[in-house]
Structures are given as structure tokens and as C-alpha cells.
Structure 1
């Protein structure tokens, strides 16, 4: 479905690069189908062109403006400026995919004078290694084909789910910010291993393999996390001692609050930008 689609990226940051790399590695598109621009860093654009073998015309404004699919990959705070400029160049028949956190479809539509199909998505940074957890929703003008194109794009960098737009802030709080929570725990476990006497590299490798193995157990066994936890927790054993300390500090509640706070912030960001207006 993407074989004949021309895809333009507004913003040339890490997420754009991850998607470009995913599309090319999975052979969904060829380099000549990809175009990109950013606000100021010309060297960054040239580096991406060289690295991925893109066309010499890849950064031409007219090429991006006329692309079948346009990916809005700027920081949320830069969306108003980007939309004020690009909205005048987009037209009915194109698909606009936004990966800017907290930005609602209605807000994007407020800049447009034509019926442009819009998909709002929230990938995460694991897209860089092909393991993103992405959720997406679509606007009123998006066809089944538009949705399928977006699904194909995000499958190239990991797994993707469709949700109602009202849940996108929750997605941002959970899986969008989720890798940082995992890294935070990894930091703590590595540090604890070192404090217990392990060499730094051994502590790191044991921690990473433990996370990988636990994830595989969850995915392959089909069991709930609570059941697996109970199965590994022997009465008066070492795991029970460790979990007792976590429970004493209400660690589960802390993580729940972290996700809810990130969810709230995502919603706030959208409201703040909406006040800026078009």
C-alpha cells in the first residue's frame, strides 16, 4: 500500500529518523519516496540524506507539500508555527500524521481550510530499535485506506494499536513516557547490584537480562503479572523480603501516580496550545 506513496517529514529529529529507518529496513518504501525538512539544521538534513540514500531533492518544500503522506514530527511547542506555514500547502487527498504529544486532531483541523485526513499517533523512543509501542486514532476525514497506511508506517517500527482519541493522553502517560520509567528502574537495580558487591558491568547485564526475560515471560505465558509475581515469591524467601520493602514505600502507587501525572500533563499541553489559537 505504501509502495507508491510519497512521504514527507516536517521535522528531522530522532523519531523521524526512526520511522525513515523502519520504512526502509522493512522495504515498505524506497529512498526516493522520502522527503524531509526541519526549521534550521541544514547539516542534520544532509546527514540523513547521506545515511539513508535519499534523493537530492528530498528537502525541497514543493516535494514535501505535495507528498501523499505528511508526517508532522515537530516538538509540541512548535506545532502552531509549523501548522500556520504548512496548512496553506496541504490539500484534500493528503494524509497528515501527527506524532506531537498532546495535540488534538480538532486543533490541527482548525488550521486547515480543506478536508485533510488526519491520524494522531504516539510512538515511543523504542522505535529507534524497531520495538515501539504505538497507539493511534484518526479524524473524521480519514478513510480506511488512510488508516491502513498509517498502521503500515507504525508497524515498521514496532507494534501499533488503534484507540479512541479520548485515550491518547493516557497512551502518552503510559507507553509514550513508559521507556523513561523502565530506565529509571534499571538505574535503581544496577545501583543496588553494585552496592551489594557486583561489578558495574555484571550488574548492568544481569539487570537487562532480567528485564528481557520477564518481558518474554509475560508475553509468552499469557499470565497476568500478578500471577507470575506470586509464582516466584516463596513464603519468607528473598523475593518476599524485597517486595515487602517495595510495598512499604507503596511503589506500585507511586508508578500509578507517575503515569497519571504524565497523562495530565499531556492534556495540559494540548489545552495550552489551544489557547495560542491559529
Structure 2
């Protein structure tokens, strides 16, 4: 077995799905565990063919990687329950918001730790992921972790103090876009569009814009499609006048601040 997932929520599932779809790992290479939800483990076993870790925790000693994907408040209990079974050369790959490398090592032992902040677009291989390494992570292990993360999207290596910003921008970012998409659909319906037509138009607009954003600076793209006194200019003016950019800034800052708070709550 290559990896045991401690925690079986939406992020763990998104990563499992990405690994299997990209054939980075086989279902038999992955085991999952959590503290209470047996139905969730049964679902993951049935849906993806992964193994369950039940009462016999010795299976953890086979793992080369541990994916730590629990809520911040549960990190201490989760790691305490498996600490005696963790092999010395394991890499703990944490996707827990806010909880520092130092705190993880205090709870689990002085193991190699990679902290990553992906997002749930991992489910379709499109996550934007930030990652930071502890000093104990070897170059070879860094390459292996990057392979795991690259299989679910793109990877940006940052300093640990920057990971809160990654959380605010990328970790929580898809939800901001979904909220904007909801608002655009609602506004389109107010202008007479049918719900399904508005959904289709918004979905394709996001897809097209995302593709364009791969090829040019965002401000350049915005200026290219904004004719003076045109419809786009009118729409942008309304967004700016209603505090659109300030609201986005506050959203990112609030998510990053909450990440910092979660770390303090754990420590």
C-alpha cells in the first residue's frame, strides 16, 4: 500500500478520484479511515475500490504516505491514534487548513511533512495547489509528492507563511466563482432568460474565460473586450461602483484570517 487517507471527506475523495483517474495510483494502493462514519468508508470502497482501515491499524505501517485530511480540531486525536504505527520514512501530506508543520510533527513525531492546500477541483484534475515542505522531506520525496499533486492539477511551492494566502485565493476560490455564477444566472433570469439557458450561458462563459486566462494577463484580457461606452464597460462600472473588487479582497482576507485562527485553535 502506498497511501492511507486519514479522513474521508470531500477533499480526500477529490484527491483519490484524481489519482485513480490519472493512473498515478491504483485503487489497491489507497486505504481510507476516519473515526466514526462507516457509511462514508463503505461508499469510498464501493465507488473507487479503495481499501478500508478498520480496527486493525497496523495497515498504516505499510504506507509510504499518510494523507491527513481531517478537520483542524481533529488533528491531535487523529494523529495520536495512529502515531505508534507510522513508519520512520513516511511522508505526512497534510491538507488541513491552518495547522502548521511544527504542530503536526509534535502530534505525530518528527516525520517528514508536506503541507498542501488544494481545492476540490482536484476531482476533475484541475486543482490549484500550494505546497510547502518540512526540512525532513528529501528531494526524492518532494518529487513524489509533486507527482501526487500534479496529477490533480497545478502545483505552486510557497513558504509556509504564504499558505494562508493560498487558502484564501485558491483553497476557497472555487466557492467565490460558484457564488458569482449563481448571481449571474439569477440576473439573467431577471432579464427574461430561462433557467437552463442562463446556466448553459454562464457555464460556457466561465469555461471560455478560463481558457483565455491561460494565454494573457488578466487586466489585458479585460481591456481587450471593454469598448468605451459599450455594454461591457457599463457592466464593469456597475460592479466597481458596488464594491466588487473590495468585496473580493475582503473574501480572500477573511478566508486567510480564518486559516490563521484555525492554526491557533489547534496549538
Q: Give the shorter-chain TM-score range.
A: over 0.9
Determine if the alignment matches structure 1 residue 6 to structure 2 residue 35: no
Change (3 A) 1:65 1:40: farther
TM-score between the two structures when normalised by the length of structure 1 = 0.91
Provide the aligned length of Structure 1 versus Structure 2.
266
Aligned to 1:81: 77
Gaps in structure 1 of 5+ consecutive residues: none
After superposition, the C-alpha distances for 1:20-75 in whole angstroms (9 at most, x for unaligned) are 222222222222221111111222212222222235x6544211243111111111
1:111 partner SS: helix
For the 8 Å contact 2:27–2:50, the answer to whether it is kept is yes
Deviations 1:64-107 (A, max 9, x none): 24311111111112112112222233232111111101111011
Name the structure 2 match of 1:105: 101
1:1-278 matched pairs, under 5 angstroms: 6-55=2-51, 59=54, 60-113=56-109, 115-219=110-214, 221=215, 223-274=216-267
CA contact (8 A) 2:60 2:86 kept: no
Inter-partner Cα distance in structure 1 for 2:186 and 2:146: 39
SS at match of 1:83: helix
Q: Is the 8 A contact 1:69 1:97 kept in 2?
A: yes
CA distance in 2, matches of 1:50, 1:239: 48
The whole-number CA distance in structure 1 between the counterparts of 2:98 and 2:27 is 30
In 2, the alpha carbon distance for the partners of 1:167 and 1:145 equals 24
What is the TM-score of this pair, normalised by structure 2?
0.95
Tell me if the contact between 1:36 and 1:64 (Cα under 8 Å) persists in the aligned partners.
Answer: no
Contact 2:57 2:82 (8 Å CA) reproduced: no
Secondary structure of the corresponding residue to residue 110 of structure 1 = helix
Is the 1:7–1:70 Cα contact (8 Å) retained in structure 2?
yes
Report if the CA contact (8 A) 2:89-2:112 is conserved: yes
Q: Which sections of structure 2, spanning at least 5 residues, go unmatched?
A: none
Distance 1:50 1:225, change over 3 A: same
Distance 1:78 1:58 in 2: 18
